[in-house]
Structure 1
Amino acid sequence: MTKAIRSQPYSSRPLVGSIILLVGIIMLALSMISSITIGAAEIDLKSIWDGVFHFEAEMTAHQIIRELRIPRAIAAALVGASLAVSGSIMQGMTRNPLASPSIMGITAGASFMIAVSFAFFPKTSSGGLIVWSFIGAGIGAAIVFGIGSFAKGGLTPVKLALAGTAVTALLQSISTSLAIHFDVAQDVSFWFAGGVAGIQWLSIKFIMPIVAIGLALAFILARSITVLSLGDEVAKGLGQRTSMVKISGICVVLLLTGAAVSIAGTIGFIGLVIPHITRFLVGMDYRWIIPCAAILGALLLVLADVGARIINPPFETPVGAITALIGVPFFLYLARRERSVL
């Protein structure tokens, strides 16, 4: 039995949660406006207003705002929220503080199947890529948890993390080999680096309903995940059907992660860092953790995307590298802490 999110007394800070939601939404709106203004082409607030409400197709600035910057900002918010909520659900269900889509092989599996689609089905549509991404996310999760289940002593946070790291490296290596052999490295490299540059409205229209459904289901499951996070025995004692909750939670994670990876590629550690920050702030009630994590995850990725454009202008740093700079030290700290209590 994992010792991760240990038997902490149930706690909730609704006032803090309300403040985070209110302030977070305001900051998210401001950061999305900043995302629209910053880039190779500098755009002022008046141009944004005119581009949204008085669009003129012949004006280059309006085209950039409408067709490039706004979809990019929306995509960053959707992907960040999806990954943060996925990580929150995984950590709550497994009571494992190292659980996240990137560490558990889910994002690597999704990227692997996208590489397969590019290699063998090069004319796959945007909707098809989403389907391939979902399949890959499921495969990655199944392999990691399968390997972890056979480990001596059962599943522990560190063993799951090690299995996830190994499977992620394996799938990424196979993906790279496929990309080189079938001469699709340029197409696949975007998903390896991770980012929201160049995302079009068509991709947004495909994933927005999926993300909306996934987040809605996550909110519905929030109370059950709160009970489950106290331990299987406690949850069963309270009459909860733990197997159904876990299956539903896994489906939500695959839904959200598959949608995120299908348009943004492998962006790691948001699903690891944000749930911890959120639990620290609002307590153990997932009715507050999930909505707050969604806002904070969206905010983090939008700001990371802004940072990607200002670190080395006029070139862009991969967003995945920026989130890794934040997430890797945090992951090492958690791994060290968990190893000391196993």
Structure 2
Amino acid sequence: MYHKEKSIQIKSSASALYNNLSVLPIAERSLTYFTVVHGNVVNMVSASGDGLNFSHRQLQSKEGNIPASSSLIIQAAWCVLPLRVLLVLTSQKGIQMYESDGSIMVYWHALDIPETPTAQAVFARGIAAARGKYICVGTSLGSVLVFDVPCKGSNITLSEVLEEHREPITDLASESSENEDCVAELVSADDSGLLCVWKAGEDFQLLNKIPAYGCSSVKLWCGVVVAGYGSGQIRLYDGMSGVVYAEVNAHARWIYALDVAPKTGTLLSGAEDSLVRIWKLNKSAENDTVEIEHKHTECVTDVQICGAKFCDGEGSAFAVTGYDLSEIIRYTLV
């Protein structure tokens, strides 16, 4: 079903972090950007459509005006807004926002560091764009920071802080809503497994809380919350009611990454068990059910998978990263 393509070499290996791969396809230029985090560095690669030409850039962790920092980067992800695309980096010190090609840092937000050291680490993790003008970022304190982003320039402001979680945020996911009814537009997950479902806007509204356990990765598709867990399970929930549509024992070990191709409802999961699995989600409006069907499995031998992302909205290609692996492995549909 999927065929392995030539891998992309990167300058340093992938750290063992949740969702340690971000992909940005740029169709009009026949390019695809990839980012992979290693320590205090983000490896950024642009690949041509034919897979023959590559360009490399490395971004380092920064603290305001300090050129480089030793603080670890936790995540890097592109946020696609209607009029601009920003590359967002989160670290132990703060949040950096760059223009999409990583050339210019347009915004820096410092995290609140306690004056007296505590046992709990301080970091930001979980990145998602929401409602066309907001970028949301989670923190180790359980807060979700909501930034209001203008269509151009660096006048980015912290507009709201969402305080429903009590444990470190593990992941955020969003989906644009086409109407003004209370439709799930953002979901946040934390270390305890709690999922909070939000409606985005000038004031974010909490729609629902879904308790669970050890959620590492989460996605939204057509109002359905897709959550991956440390148990290797994938659960599908109704975002508004919290009803469980389906539960699948998808992997033998911890799930590190999920992704959904929005145009087809194809789901991708990657885990510590060296397996990447492809699933098909089907939603029935008639009887209000969602089904999940297994379609394909790839085994990346002896690799602890830590990142897996589709390279387009249809799910016709995907890429994978693994802990201590200095390459991005690519697959295309045949």
Sort the TM-score into its range (normalised by shorter chain).
under 0.3
TM value normalised by structure 2: 0.26
Higher helix share: 1
TM-score by length of 1: 0.26
RCO comparison, higher one (Cα < 8 Å, 6+): 1
